[in-house]
Every structure is written in structure tokens, then in C-alpha cells.
Amino acid sequence: MTGTDHIQQPRKRLFILLLAIGGALVLGLAFLLWWVPSVGLENIHPALPVIFGVVLSVLSFLIVGGLGLLVLTLLSGRDLLLLQPLRGLVVRYLFPAIISLGKLFGIDRDMLQQSFIALNNQLVHTRKLRVPAERTLILLPHCIQMFECAIKITGDVEKCVGCGKCDISGLLGLAHKFGIEMAVATGGTLARKLIVEKRPKLIVAVACERDLTSGIRDAYPLPVVGILNKRPNGPCFNTHVLLPEVEQALEEYVIPAAG
């Protein structure tokens, strides 16, 4: 287990716990939906409560079975059957439901988003991807660059002079090492535009919880490895990233360019 996995484990556990609670709620709701109408359904036809119960049981089994398979995927770290549909289930439907469920328990939204990002990364990890460098994109937020810098690199990161006062130079060094294109996005609209233009097969994205969460959902089904930035100066201002985390992700998923 890597250091990054160790850091992300509590986040994944939070999401798994909420998934289990959600599964229990589904079963409880299914029982109520069967029991309450069955009193009236039996008056229409004696077989209707049984038919209704079978339909609800099948639906409950599919939902809870899917959640169980998802939990097994996360715990085992293996690419189990139906992984891609499960990732779609998490990204499109479960995340909004889990956010709402978390609010009921008073759980901080950032913690839930961190858990979602860690869960997404685990699902990407289980696919054992190896993507050519030329089909990989490193996507960064503009706040990684030092605010006072007179050279704006939003349009072209190669303009960076490598002064070392922010993490752009280190990230650019990693991009050159692997032969990967790197881009800076000032918001979700530009990020989506870059993805459409460059058509990568894998994105390694650095951002805050909110932007990573929305980016992962917007980019689906494209696999996105999310890396949280560090904000010692507050949000969206002179942020940082742990370069070893980025390098570890690149080593795991990217086939370096020849030469």
C-alpha cells in the first residue's frame, strides 16, 4: 500500500459507510412500499401483494447488489464485473444522493467530496490502465501559479521561466519527463473545451474538492485521477501540490513517450 493510499483510506471508508446506510434505507423503503399498499392491493386481487412484493424484491436486490459489488471492488482493489457501469452509477447518481444523505448526518461537504474523489481514484486504479503519454493530459487550476507572477501561462504553460517560486516549474518538469501535455484551466468551461480539443484518454487533474468533483462528473466516462491541491493561503490563491503524488500517478498510469 502506498503512502497516498494510506492517506485516502479514511475518505473511502466514509463513502463506503454512507453507501451501506443508503443500501439499508433502500431495503427499508422497499418493505414499506410493499407493506403499505398490500393492504389495499389484496382487496383488488389476492395475488397482487405477492406480485408487487416480487417486483420490489428484484429491484432491491439489483440496487443493493450493485452497491455490494461496488464495496467489494473498493475493498479488493480488483477490476470486478461491471466496473464501468458501477463507476457511472457512482458518478451520475450515487454522489448527489450521498451528498444529501451526508447533510442529514451533518457531515462536512468537503469531506464527502474528498471521499468521492478517493473512491473515483480507486475505481480508476482497479482498471489497471496504461495510457500512452500523448493521450494523457495534466490539467491544473490557475491558482497553482503564483498570483504575483507577471507571466500568465493560462494559454501556454511553456512560458514558465522556471523560477521555482510556485509548483508550475516542477510540474512542467514532470510533464517533460513523461512527454505529457499540460494545460491550465481557469474554470470548468475552459476545462471542458480543452478536453474536447485534446481528446485525451486519461486526465490527471489537480484542483480543490469542488472543482475535482465537478470535473470528474463532467468528464465521465473519461477516466480522471484527482489530486487535491494544498491551500496554505486560502482557496484559489497561491495553492500548491505535492509533486510526488503527481509523479506517482503518472508512473502508474502513463507509458512515457519514447526518447
- The yes-or-no verdict on residue 1 having pLDDT over 50 is no
Per-domain boundaries in the chain: 3-125, 129-255
pLDDT-derived band at 240 (thresholds 50, 70, 90) equals: very high
Contacts of 185 (CB under 8 A, 6+ apart): 139, 140, 141, 142, 154, 191, 194
Residue 2: per-residue pLDDT: 43
43 CB-contact burial (10 Å; exposed 0-12 / middle 13-18 / buried 19+): exposed
Mean pLDDT (the chain) is 82
**What is the pLDDT at residue 168?**
96
In this predicted model, what pLDDT tens digit does every residue of 3-26 receive, in sequence order?
A: 344 444 446 677 777 777 877 887
Residue scoring higher pLDDT (1 or 193): 193
Q: What's the confidence (pLDDT) of residue 6? A: 41
Residues sharing a CB contact under 8 Å with residue 18, sequence separation 6 or more, in sequence order: 98, 101, 102, 107, 112, 115
- 129-255 has which CATH code? 3.40.50
The pTM of this model reads 0.74
Question: Could you give the dihedral angle defined by the CA atoms of residues 96, 102, 104 and 109, in that order, rounded to the nearest 10 degrees?
Answer: -90
The pLDDT of residue 175: 96
Confidence category of residue 202, pLDDT binned at 50, 70, 90: very high
136 near 254, Cβ under 8 Å? Answer: yes
